[in-house]
A and B are shown apart, each in its own frame.
Chain A
Amino acid sequence: MTLDPEAPLTPKVPLTPKERMALKRVAMPEQDATARSANFGEVNLGLTEQLAILEAERCLQCPKPYCIDGCPVRVNIPQFIRFLRDGDIKSAAQSLLSDNALPCVTGRVCPQEIQCEKVCLRAKTGQSVAIGHLERFVADWGQRHAAEIAGSPAVRTGKTVAIVGSGPAGLTAAGELAKLGHEVTVFEAFHAAGGVLIYGIPEFRLPKDIVAAEVDRLIAQGVTIEANAIIGTTYTLPELREKFDAVFIAVGAGLPVFMNVPGENLKGVYSANEYLTRVNLMGAWTEGADTPVLHGQRVVVVGGGNVAMDAVRTARRLGAASATIVYRRGREELPARAEEVHHAEQEGVEFEYLAAPTEVLGDESRWVTSVRCVRMALGEPDESGRRRPEPIEGSEFDIPCDMLVVAIGTRSNPLLTQTAPDLEVTKWGYIVTDESGMTSMPGVFAGGDIVRGAATVILAMGDGKRAAAAIDAYLRGELPALPSAEPAAVA
């Protein structure tokens, strides 16, 4: 059976199981690869209503939905898909939003292929339901109709909560706590809220007005955002703890890691954080922006994660004739979302696998001219279970470049933790919490990348949601303060 994606569907007529199984996964309409390599418009254009409903028909409404187990926040996937299939998008949006505070974001950036879609029953015999695409469709509809689906304002509890950091963890916790009637203030070091969602992930993958709309919704709910407030300098954590009934720390893992090879301070060498912040947060991708960014012609990006893909694709859009990923393992091992790798390949990004930089070379005016790499071979598996890359002696080769972006990871920033001696951290500086998300300081909770190390948006949101519930219980006196080894200095 063939179904015309443009033809209006009559959801009233149920498909037979056979017809349902015969439906092919709909393709996400996307901007042409050549055109989009030169602009910052969104790559994925979003499903039409017809396509979305057609895809929703593919869901088998499993009595034991494995997909839910694959989702870190346990979105009730069959439920929102069923509402959508029946044409009740409003109920679909309400259902989705009750599980996931930022579905417009996760529908776009979740690594679905290793989460919900991986375990979808239909993946066993073919292609999984396009859960991410459906989530995005329903969420975007919800954002456009925010007024219709807004809940009634909560009864004020008179309790105050400080949230440090406005990334996905902080925003999720803020929304949940505001819903429960607590008075929430979010402290953000930058001048704008959103964390990685605004300074890291580029416009072509996650339009900034989507994040801004989510932040505006929180403000409308009564959340106060105090921008340009750096906890650890402007205020210390113990000060916040004194002023607020509870604190949630969600500062991410924002410190860039460099390679520690000679030549890394040459002009034209960026950390991915600096490059992406200039382009995204400071708007350097727009004509005539105050903040400059280099427009490399031959760009090399070191790393294989989402950050590296975002940097290399950004460089292409800013005019790079050649843009190359240098990654020390092979294609199979790339940690980036499959879709980003696929899109990067379509956009003409080159991949130099099994290679690692050993030195950055420059000219007499100290501009980068090339990066020297060594070939790697995959040896025995390491602790992460991935085969450890080992350099092959004497295999050095140079890749010419006029810009180099280092995207090999981030660490925790000690700015906040060093002013809070009572806060227990790991030897890498990540904050230690119990299952409820509470830290060694009673009433102080933490979540997201500052607890897990660089992870994902949805995990950070899950932490925000869990911590909000624990904070609520704590504020109602139901969560006992943790007995800490030493009495805390601040009560």
Chain B
Amino acid sequence: MHRVLANEQLSPNVYRLVVQAPRIAEIRRPGQFVIVHLGPGAERIPLTIADVDAAAGTISLVIQGIGKSTLDLVELVPGDVIDGIAGPLGRPTELPEHGHAVCVGGGVGTAVILPIAQALHARGVAVTSIIGGRSREWVILEDELKACGEVVTCTDDGSYGRPGFVTTALADELARGGVDEVFAVGPVPMMRAVVGLTGPAEVKTTVSLNPIMVDGTGMCGGCRVTVDGIVRYACVEGPEFDGLRVDFNELADRQSTYRPFEKAALEHREACKIGLRTGAPVDAPPVGAGAGARP
């Protein structure tokens, strides 16, 4: 049982949950994730450990509410409990000793980049973070990353920071030279575009992959990805891999396996909620505030 201590909205669909998990807070290392199981009947879903407070025994999960399971999670309110959090899982990030690293975060991938940037900064590596979003309100974790070094913020519509994609900013950064290593996490097209730049520039690039997972311990093989022609289980051998060697087409493809199911689950969830709202007492909390909205 893990109590939710705080839930803060970071962007229109991204939330930060602070959750009690003392053991994981004590031993996790950057790059690792957990499998969250909300309660009976729930899906097991992988989420990066975005931050920890070992003294308080808490971990932060930054969650994008995009489907049934993540929406159920982002609607939790302080005091709610999550049945199971398994971890920490995956191999910790291989951190360079020194030099200059560029951390590129797209969307909720920024949450995966944050612990890496923090660890790099802590050991004296110069960090430049490049993060982005559709428009200003979609940019997350900017202040946290500023504590680790320079931050270049990009918005697609130019409403904040640099106009354009993170990859344009990365191209400029690479052109300027002196980049020893790139860490990139985001949607597959973004990571593919990043290695499209760093490959020719011959800059070591680490990406964190998000294939579909079930157990997170190597027993199902559902998370298999092809890296350098070899099949790897992302949950135990990753989730971070050499981005220049990843078969992104296959990853994107495998991620789409359950698309019709995901759509149906979301529609079913919405339908339940409408029913719940019409049948609810007048002072029912607004949807999104959490309480009791879980079907």
Contact = CB atoms under 8 A, between A and B. Distances in A.
Interface residues of A, number: 37
B168 interface: no
Contacts of B89: 230, 233
Contacts of A413: 217-219
Contacts of B31: none
Given A290-B41, A292-B262, A234 B86 contact: yes
B222 A290 contact: no
Contacts of B226: 265
Given A189-B86, A254-B219, A255-B218, A288 B268 contact: yes
B253 A227 contact: no
Interface of A: 189-191, 227-230, 233-235, 254-256, 258, 264-265, 267-268, 270-271, 273-274, 277-278, 282-283, 288-292, 294, 365-366, 413-415
B153 interface: no
B219 A234 contact: no
Contacts of B137: none
Given A265-B224, A290-B68, A283 B41 contact: yes
Contacts of B250: 265, 366
Contact of B43 (A230, A268, A282): A282
Question: What are the 10 tightest A-B residue pairs by CB atom distance, in nearest-first order?
Answer: A292-B261, A274-B220, A228-B86, A228-B84, A254-B219, A271-B221, A290-B43, A191-B84, A292-B258, A274-B222
Report whether over half of chain B's contact residues are helix, strand or loop; otherwise say mixed: mixed
Contacts of B268: 288
B134 interface: no
A271 B43 CA distance: 19
A278 B257 CA distance: 14
Interface of B: 23-24, 27, 35, 37, 41-44, 68-69, 83-89, 214-215, 217-222, 224, 226, 231, 236, 250, 253-254, 256-258, 261-262, 265, 268
A36 to B, nearest CB: 25
24 contacts: A189-B86, A189-B215, A189-B217, A191-B84, A228-B84, A228-B86, A230-B87, A233-B89, A234-B86, A254-B218, A254-B219, A255-B218, A256-B220, A265-B231, A265-B250, A273-B220, A273-B221, A274-B214, A288-B268, A289-B41, A291-B43, A291-B214, A292-B261, A413-B219
Given A189-B86, A277-B220, A288-B268, A265 B236 contact: no
B32 to A, nearest CB: 9
Given A234-B87, A270-B222, A413-B219, 14 more contacts: A189-B86, A189-B215, A191-B84, A191-B86, A228-B35, A230-B86, A233-B88, A255-B218, A258-B221, A277-B215, A290-B41, A290-B42, A290-B68, A292-B262
A7 to B, nearest CB: 45
B41 A191 contact: no
Nearest to B272: A288
A282 B44 contact: yes
A274 B220 CA distance: 4
**Chain A CB within 10 Å, residue with most, of B69, B83, B88, B220:** B220
B219 A273 contact: yes
Contacts of B253: 267, 365-366
Contacts of B86: 189, 191, 228-230, 234
B214 A415 contact: no
A255 B87 contact: no
B215 A267 contact: no
B35 to A, nearest CB: 8
A62 B246 CA distance: 66
A130 to B, nearest CB: 35
A265 B222 CA distance: 9
Contacts of B68: 290
Given A278-B214, A288-B268, A292-B262, A191 B83 contact: yes
A270 B35 CA distance: 20
Contacts of B219: 254-256, 273, 277, 413
Contacts of A270: 222
